[in-house]
């Protein structure tokens, strides 16, 4: 089965808008994808006809909301092939998921002298929480280096692993370069040293097949808003036996068993980590996004996006004075580039005037930008509703921008 981008585009109403009098060409998907019609419909339906708090309520609306909320948990479990539905924790997003693990590990498991390995290409959300955790207990963050193409140096990674390594945290796909990392091999190497492994799947969950059982990762984090779903909804997957060992992240409603002034006991998984009223409408609508992706076929999505990547790479590489940053052999549909004599912010502004939305800056990856020898890049990231015609429009706009500057 091949995807029909023309038909898919009809499911994304935002693509019909004009930007500065031009048709919108949205190429900022690595930051956040547009929202598909089924997701928008589900959110409207919830707030119009179904709004009520979930869990513990015995009235119709509460029970209905609880059922739909938990159906999303089951959908996520199936989507990533987790062993148990209670291994799926709903959070505010990837950042919140990583902070949850970092904070909980720092309270009793992570100790002075331990090391946490993270790669040069990590998003700040997969750097700073570990630094904060290590500062609390006297542990150390260790950098896994990358080569000039933006690929992890596996030989160096092997050397860095030791009995001191408590955890490795690594992006499945680099948000800044599109590099697809050899996560399965990295997990095997980490486990050989007794270390835990967290996969930042923010950039991979909507673009390639995820199977946590096959990967054998200990944790995985990703966000709904990069999967055509609502903002403010994320997932933390964790192995049951590990989650049971961690203390709660936050205190409040739903995460308790019995509360008294003498002692409070905590709820079972997954509620132990879901304190307070969640983003109910967002979680319910997230299922519509998962169903949408599943209906198209994740392998079909990957193949279509790879075709766009190949086409765009060839076209952009041919522009004199423009250089692609990040040339890994295994890449997702992300192209970061720089232009001679032009700051990426100026490039982004001029592209916007031509109706083209790209992301500019350091992409929350300042250590990586320093390693690649650039202060910032312009980044075009593609997904299922993008077309080769839009790639042509991007290329024409880059050339026009270069000539202007």
Question: Hey, which residues are catalytic here?
Answer: 364
User: Cβ distance 281 to 230 under 8 Å?
Assistant: yes
Separation between Cα atoms, residue 230 and residue 36, nearest integer Å:
10
Q: Is the dihedral of CA 363, 364, 366, 368 positive or negative?
A: negative
Separation between Cα atoms, residue 180 and residue 332, nearest integer Å:
6
User: Cβ distance 223 to 94 under 8 Å?
Assistant: yes
- Identify the CA nearest to 90 among candidates 204, 190, 229, 188: 229
């Amino acid at each position: 089965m091949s995807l029909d981008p023309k038909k898919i585009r009809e499911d994304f109403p935002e693509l019909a808008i004009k930007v500065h009098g031009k048709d919108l060409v949205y190429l900022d998907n690595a930051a956040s994808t547009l929202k598909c019609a089924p997701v928008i419909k589900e959110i409207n339906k919830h707030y119009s006809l179904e709004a009520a708090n979930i869990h513990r309520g015995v009235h119709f609306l509460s029970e209905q909301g609880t059922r739909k909320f938990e159906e999303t948990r089951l959908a996520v479990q199936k989507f990533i092939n987790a062993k148990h539905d209670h291994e799926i924790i709903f959070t505010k997003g990837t950042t919140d998921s990583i902070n949850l693990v970092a904070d909980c590990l720092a309270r009793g498991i992570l100790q002075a002298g331990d090391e946490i390995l993270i790669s040069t290409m990590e998003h700040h959300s997969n750097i700073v929480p570990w630094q904060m955790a290590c500062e609390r207990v006297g542990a150390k963050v260790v950098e896994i280096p990358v080569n000039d193409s933006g690929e992890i140096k596996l030989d160096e990674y092997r050397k860095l692993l030791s009995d001191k390594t408590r955890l490795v945290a690594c992006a499945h796909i680099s948000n800044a370069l599109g590099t697809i990392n050899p996560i399965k091999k990295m997990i095997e190497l980490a486990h050989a040293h007794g270390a835990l492994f967290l996969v930042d799947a923010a950039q991979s969950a909507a673009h390639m097949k995820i199977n946590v059982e096959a990967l054998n990762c200990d944790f995985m984090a990703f966000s709904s808003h990069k999967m055509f779903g609502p903002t403010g909804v994320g997932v933390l997957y964790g192995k049951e036996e590990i989650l049971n060992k961690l203390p709660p992240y936050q205190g409040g409603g739903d995460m308790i068993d019995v509360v008294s002034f003498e002692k409070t006991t905590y709820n079972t998984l997954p509620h132990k980590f879901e304190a307070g009223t969640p983003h109910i409408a967002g979680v319910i609508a997230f299922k519509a996004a998962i169903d949408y992706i599943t209906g198209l076929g994740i392998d079909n999505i990957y193949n279509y996006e790879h075709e766009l990547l190949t086409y765009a790479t060839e076209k952009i590489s041919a522009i004199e004075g423009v250089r692609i940053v990040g040339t890994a052999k295994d890449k997702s549909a992300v192209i970061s580039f720089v232009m001679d004599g032009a700051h990426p912010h100026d490039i982004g502004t001029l592209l916007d005037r031509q109706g083209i939305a790209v992301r500019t800056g350091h992409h929350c990856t300042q250590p990586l930008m320093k390693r690649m020898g650039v202060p910032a890049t312009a980044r075009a990231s593609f997904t299922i509703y993008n077309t080769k015609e839009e790639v042509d429009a991007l290329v024409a706009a880059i050339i026009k921008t270069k000539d202007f500057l």
